[in-house]
Structure 1
Amino acid sequence: MKRYYRPIVRFDAARPETALPLAGGAGWLSQAICFQRGGAAQTVEAQDIPADWQDRLTAQRPPLAGLALDRTRVMGILNVTPDSFSDGGSLHSAAAALRRAEDMVEAGADILDVGGESTRPGAQTVPIAAEIARIEPVIRAIASDITVPISIDTRKSAVAEAAVTAGAGLVNDVSGFTYDPMLAHYCAREGLPVCVMHTLGPPETMQDNIAYDDVLLDVFDFLETQVQMLVDLGLSRGQIVVDPGIGFGKTIDHNLTLLRHAALFHGLGCPVLVGASRKGFIGTITGASPAVERVHGSVAVAQAMAAQAIQIVRVHDVAPTVQALVMHRAIETGDLS
């Protein structure tokens, strides 16, 4: 029976000699929660975790596109779409997008994620030419003015190629490299870092007939398979970010389970990204509507992810998120930087 080990993440100075370092950051673990399908979860000591899991949990995560992953980093969302669920249509030109990007970086964004196709539930696929027309001038303008890494949020190899030519350095595929079979090959050939996300089908149908045997373990197994595929193509685990896909083919309970146990994904030996910013389940739980009113709930999720040593949080509201993470780091580790 396959077993999965979710580290119980600690940061305080009272660290036992038997504790294991976690992913090269300030966190550590002396215990983990062991899951198996059909069985009850159990707490185990760190030294009882199998060697292969220990190796992946403790491995230093190298810099991603030049960005050190020794603490939780903030990815600012820059949607240049007319129909995204939260901020669609707000950026009408490359100049407007550049101003937003500059504001995000000034507020503390470590990386910018540019997207030209909405992937909200029910969204329709955007033609390749239209998607390139949206993202290319924006990425070119940002790359010529700002030094932080730029990610392209796309499922399509042609769009990724145009974005990388314009200045992007990371490919973020919400389909988990299942939509365009050429995209993984392109990224591996170019040695590009990637983000592989779990989703339950395309945006048009991902919220229809949602079903899992065990959402936490099913998502882990999918990501494990896709990571191995990318490794087989030539990428290293340090170049592969994994994302459990909050809100993509999940119910509220599924989302909360994945957030509660997000540290499990450290066991893939890759950096972990979580994107829950302004999503509908936050509004359902808190009553906050429209999406722009979900700042506080979104920041709370980001802080909960930092408590599990998640390396990247993808957010709309950079300034309040950065402020919360600075305070979290100061309280947990004494780091005032």
Structure 2
Amino acid sequence: MARQLYIRPIGLCASPQSEEGEAIRLGGGMVYAHRFALIQREAGKVVARERVSVSGMDAALARLPADLVEQGLAQWAGLRASHAPLQCGPRTIRLDQPQIMGILNVTPDSFSDGGKFLDDPEEARRHAGAMLEGGAALVDVGGESTRPGAPAVWEGDELKRVIPAIESLSAMGAAISVDTRRVGVMEAALNAGAHIINDVSALRHDPRALEFAAGSGVPVILMHAPGEGDDLHSNEHYVNPALDVFDWLRDRRDAAIAAGIPRERIVLDPGIGFGKSLTHSLAIINALPLYHALGQPLLLGASRKRLVGALSNEAPAHKRLGGSLAVALHGMNAGIQLLRVHDVPETVQARDIWRGLRDSALTDFSELTD
């Protein structure tokens, strides 16, 4: 395996003036980075690591072996890239601050809501409306549970679950993503009013998916999951979880681009909890700023997941609000653009306080006084 390079931000700050201007705006958002680890890896193992400042980056990249310079330049540009808004019909979702994606599971076996919204369509509509009123920028509708051990769903059943929910949300004027791995569901969902394809298999499950997504003209979310076929949680083998996921997402991004999907329509998700132990997920969450080097908007979906329960005395899913907010705020501090959550009003409130602190930091300064 050829040597690989990674530029990992390791020093973050709330404003460039706190570093006397020597900081970059990370992913076009409200987080700034001023110190970086320049990491080289060969055959899965880290073989070199150098700490670099903003002012020293050009010289550090020039010192790299010739085959790594191009990687370094691309990642340095990716870290500093600003991202165009996502256009969802008449609604525009800006990516210069964290945006909240509400989760609407219309499945009988969701780990978080136990099928409540499938059995009662009116309750599903009320819940969706509450998420929109609570500040969700968009709602993600899913008709297939992807928890470990969940049985595969027949496409016809998935359609019966998601299409009425999407039609209802469309009537509310919502921005909608459809969480599916099947082209038949993608197509019907877009026809019913969905605007974004969110595929937990990163367009690998259905052999027609890459071609369909390229022709659809809509944004796509590509999530890391190590498994193939019906079991996305298999093949849980990592040498370095954060760097292995980086390589995988880079390859899927490149496959999507090669299939004709424009870069500006690709969002990447490291897939917290999918084929990952607690240790793996924590390593990836701690490395979130690294993934901006891929040059794409990022989505974080850790709400109520098993890592929250594992770190909070095995709290059941419906009692994981505090832990979910902690992970969401960690994502905001890493510059994540989209946060996929169950508890929308609470996360929006946390985001708004975070935003106020960030706005204040941009105008805050210290003066020497006599």
TM-score (norm 1): 0.94
Distance 1:202 1:82, change over 3 A: farther
What is the distance in 1 between the residues matched to 2:200 and 2:271? 8
Give CA deviations for 1:221-264 in whole Å, capped at 9, x if unaligned: 11101111111222222211100000000010100000001111
Higher strand share: 2
The question of 1:134 aligning with 2:161 is answered yes
What is the distance in 2 between the residues matched to 1:283 and 1:252? 10
Equivalences, count: 335
Range that drifts further, 302-311 or 55-64: 55-64
Q: Which residue of 2 aligns with 1:17?
A: 21
What is the distance in 2 between the residues matched to 1:186 and 1:206? 21
- Matched position secondary structure for 2:148: coil
Measured after TM superposition, the shift of residue 207 of structure 1 is 4.4
Give CA deviations for 1:124-145 in whole Å, capped at 9, x if unaligned: 1100010001000110011011
Q: Is the 8 A contact 1:171 1:194 kept in 2?
A: yes
Q: Is the 8 A contact 1:120 1:203 kept in 2?
A: no
* Amino acid in the other structure paired with 1:271: P
Measured after TM superposition, the shift of residue 36 of structure 1 is 3.0
Q: Which residue of 2 aligns with 1:26?
A: 30
Distance 1:262 1:301, change over 3 A: same
Which residues of 2 match residues 9-88 of structure 1 at below 5 A? 9-12=12-15, 13-37=17-41, 38-39=45-46, 41-47=49-55, 48=57, 50-65=72-87, 66-88=92-114
- Matched position secondary structure for 1:76: strand
Q: Which residue of 2 aligns with 1:167?
A: 193
Q: Is the 8 A contact 1:119 1:203 kept in 2?
A: no
> Max radius of gyration: which structure?
2
Q: Which residue of 2 aligns with 1:200?
A: 226
Q: Please, which runs of 5 or more residues in structure 2 have no aligned partner? A: 62-71, 363-370
* Amino acid in the other structure paired with 1:11: A
The question of 1:158 aligning with 2:184 is answered yes
What is the distance in 1 between the residues matched to 2:307 and 2:275? 12
Which residues of 2 match residues 242-261 of structure 1 at below 5 A? 242-261=268-287
Distance 1:165 1:204, change over 3 A: closer
Identity among equivalent pairs (%): 40
Which residues of 2 match residues 208-227 of structure 1 at below 5 A? 208=234, 210-227=236-253
Q: Which residue of 2 aligns with 1:321?
A: 347
- Matched position secondary structure for 2:139: strand
Measured after TM superposition, the shift of residue 154 of structure 1 is 0.2
What is the distance in 1 between the residues matched to 2:234 and 2:189? 31
CA RMSD in angstroms comes to 1.9
Q: Please, which runs of 5 or more residues in structure 1 have no aligned partner? A: none
Q: Is the 8 A contact 1:282 1:298 kept in 2?
A: yes
Measured after TM superposition, the shift of residue 42 of structure 1 is 3.8
Q: Is the 8 A contact 2:138 2:177 kept in 1?
A: yes
- Matched position secondary structure for 1:124: coil
Measured after TM superposition, the shift of residue 309 of structure 1 is 0.6
Measured after TM superposition, the shift of residue 167 of structure 1 is 0.5
Measured after TM superposition, the shift of residue 88 of structure 1 is 2.7
- Matched position secondary structure for 2:201: coil
Q: Is the 8 A contact 1:16 1:30 kept in 2?
A: no
What is the distance in 2 between the residues matched to 1:62 and 1:73? 14
